[in-house]
Amino acid sequence: MKRKILAAVLASTMILSLVGCGGGSADSAGTADTGAAADSGAAADTGAAADTGAADSGDAAAAGGETLTVWCWDPAFNMNAMYEAEKVYQKDHPDFKLNVIETPWEDVQTKITTAAASGDLSTLPDIVLMQDNAFQKNVISYPDAFVDLTNSGIDFSQFAAGKAGYSIVNGANYGVPFDNGAVVGCYRTDVLEQAGLTVDDFTDITWDQYIENGKKVLDATGKPLISMQAGECDLIMMMLQSAGASLFNEDGTANIVDNDTLKAVMETYKALKDSGVLVEVNSWDEYVGSFVSGDVAGTVNGCWILASIQTAEDQAGNWAITNMPSLVGVSSATNYSNNGGSSWAVTANCQNTDLAFDFLASTFAGSTELYDNILPSGALATWAPAGDSDAYGVGNDFFGGDAVSAKIVEYSTKVPSNITGVYYYEARDAVATAITNYINGSDLETELQTAADTVNFNMGQ
C-alpha cells in the first residue's frame, strides 16, 4: 500500500503544481496559495535559492543553537509573517534567528517527496509551510518525515477545529494552523437594495432561500447573484465541508457513491445553475472580473477573496459580508466552511524540536501582537484569541464599517472538520467532471459511480 501511495504522490506532484498553485483554482487563490502561483513564474530564480536552502537547512538543523530554517513561499505574505514572528520571539530570545528560504509550493512538495523517497531527510528544513489540502497526504505517505506536535505545548484548542483538522492524522496534530480560509458570503448592498433586500436577508439562510432571494435580484436588476468557474468544484467542496462531509472515509476509502450529503450538494449546485442565480464563466480572471465589474451581485468564497473585491475602489461602502447558506435536508448542515489556506509543520530533520515548539507556541499559537502586525498584509488568524484584539475590531469602510476581520475569525471557529486524505486532488477533479456532466443532463448516480471508479483506479484498488 505504501508503494501505491508513493506512486500516487509522485504522479500527483505535477497536478498539485497546477491545481494547488495555478491561477485557475480557488485553492490557489487563497492567500497562502496565491504566493505559490506568483512565485511559480520566478521558479528558475527561486528554485536555486530553494536548492541552496536545502543544503543550508541540514547544516542549520545539525548545528542546533538558536537558529531555525524555514521553507515557505510568497515574500509579502507567508515570508513576511515569519519575519514578524521572528521579531516577536526575539524580544524574549535576543539570540534567536530564522533562516527563511523562499520556496514555491510546487518545489516544497517535490522536495518533500524526493527526500522521503530517498530516505534522506537531511535536506529538509526545520519548519515548512504546507497547503492544508495536501497536509494529510504528506503525513500519511511519509509518516517518518514529520514531528507529532500533539504534546509540544501548543494549545490546539484555541484554533478553529475545522482548520486544525486539516493537519490531524490518526488523532495526532502535525501542523500549526496559519492563514484563515473561512468562507464568506459577499454582496453588493446597493444591488440588493434594488430588489428590496439587505445583507440580513442572506444571513443564517439555506440555499433554497438563497435561490429565492437570487431570483428577486435577477428579476429586479438582471444580475445573477453569483458566478463560478466552469469545470471547477470549489463551491461543491465548500458546501460539502459546511456539513462536515468529505469525499473520503476515515479509513481512506472513497466516499462518493453512497454519500447522501454529496448528492444534496450536487443537486443544490444544479438548482443554482438552472435558476439563473448562478452563472458559470470560463476562467479565474473572468470569475474575479464578474463581481469587480458588477456583472454579478456577489460571491461566496474563502475570505481571501476580499482582497480582490476591494480592487473595485469605486464600490467602496457598497459591499457587506455574512456567512454562507446551509444545505437543506442535511442534519449536519451549518452556515460555515473553509476554502484554501496552509499550516506550519516541523520536520523530522529538526535537531532542536524544543526550540521549534516554543517558537511556534509563542508566536503563531500565542501572540496577538504577531497577528496584529501581519493583519495589514491580509493575513487573518484562525487562532481564536486574535479575534479579540483591538486591531481586529477596527471597522472596514469598504464593507460599510463592519469589523470584518473579527467576524471572519468568529466564522472560522464554527467550520466543521473534513477528511482530505492522500487522494484529495484526484477526487476533486473527478467530482468536477461529474458536476459538469450532471448539469448537462447526465444521470447523477451514474456520474457519481464514474467518479468513484476514477478515484479507486487512482488509488490502485
DSSP string covering 263-311, please? HHHHHHHHHHHHHTSEEEESSHHHHHHHHHTTSSSEEEEEGGGHHHHTT
Identify the H or E element spanning 252: none
CA 239/CA 327 separation, integer angstroms? 7
Task: Give which of 59, 68, 58, 56 is closest to 358, Cα–Cα.
Answer: 68
pTM score, whole prediction: 0.82
Predicted confidence at residue 306, as pLDDT, reads 93
Residue with cell 486524505: 421
How is the chain split into domains, by residue range?
Answer: 2-180+341-395, 183-337+423-459
CB-CB contact of 34 with 379 (8 Å): no
- To 5 degrees, how large is the angle CA 250–CA 252–CA 257? 90
What pLDDT, on a 0 to 100 scale, did the predictor assign at position 325? 98
pLDDT of residue 44: 31
Q: Please choose, from the candidates 348, 423, 381, the residue with its C-alpha nearest in 3D space to the C-alpha of residue 133.
A: 423
Find out whether 272 and 325 touch, Cβ atoms under 8 Å: no
Q: How far is CA 342 from CA 65, 179, 220, 282, 412, in A?
A: 27, 6, 40, 27, 14
Q: Looking at the predicted structure, is the pLDDT value of residue 416 above 90? A: yes
Question: Above 90 in pLDDT, residue 28?
Answer: no
* pLDDT confidence of residue 10: 38
Q: Cα separation of 284 and 288, whole Å? A: 6
Condensed to tens digits (0 to 9), the pLDDT of residues 338-372 reads 998 999 999 999 999 999 999 999 999 999 999 99
Which residue, among 338, 284, 409, has the nearest Cα to 135 in the 3D structure? Answer: 338
pLDDT of 134 over the 50 cut: yes
Q: Out of 3.40.190.10, 3.40.50.2000, 3.40.640.10, 1.20.58.740, select the CATH number for domain 2-180+341-395.
A: 3.40.190.10
Number of residues assigned to the chain: 461
Distances (CA, A) of 238 to 127, 139, 143, 301: 29, 23, 28, 8
pLDDT score at 65 = 74
Strands 278-281 and 226-229, how do they pair?
Answer: parallel
DSSP E strands: which ranges in 103-158? 127-131
Q: For residue 453, report the phi and psi dihedrals to the nearest 5 degrees.
A: -60, -40
The pLDDT confidence band at residue 378, using thresholds 50, 70 and 90, is confident
* DSSP-based three-state secondary structure for 123: helix
Model confidence at 14, pLDDT cuts 50, 70, 90, reads very low
What pLDDT is recorded for position 39? 33
pLDDT tens per residue across span 143-182: 999 999 999 999 999 998 899 999 999 999 999 999 999 9
Report which DSSP code applies to 22.
S
Average pLDDT value for residue range 306-320 = 94
Task: Say whether pLDDT at 53 is over 80.
Answer: no
Q: Which CATH number fits domain 183-337+423-459: 3.40.1670.10, 3.30.70.3420, 3.40.190.10, 3.55.50.30?
A: 3.40.190.10
Burial class (CB in 10 A: 0-12, 13-18, 19+), 460: exposed
> What SS3 state is found at 71?
strand
Summarised one tens digit per residue, pLDDT across range 64-122 is: 579 999 999 999 899 999 999 999 999 999 999 999 999 999 999 999 999 999 999 99
pLDDT of 461 reads 55
Q: pLDDT (tens digit, 9 = 90+) per residue, 182-241?
A: 999 999 999 999 999 999 999 999 999 999 999 999 999 999 999 999 999 999 999 999
